[in-house]
Amino acid sequence: MSCSGCEQNVESALQKLDGVTRVESDHEADTVEVVADEGVADDDIHAAIEQAGYDVAA
Q: Which domains does the chain have, with CATH numbers?
A: 4-51 (3.30.70.100)
Confidence category of residue 1, pLDDT binned at 50, 70, 90: confident
CA gap 39, 53 in Å, rounded: 24
Rounded to the nearest integer, the mean pLDDT of the chain is 95
| CA-CA-CA-CA dihedral for 47, 25, 6, 15, to nearest 10 | 50
Taking residues 11-36, what's their average pLDDT?
Answer: 96
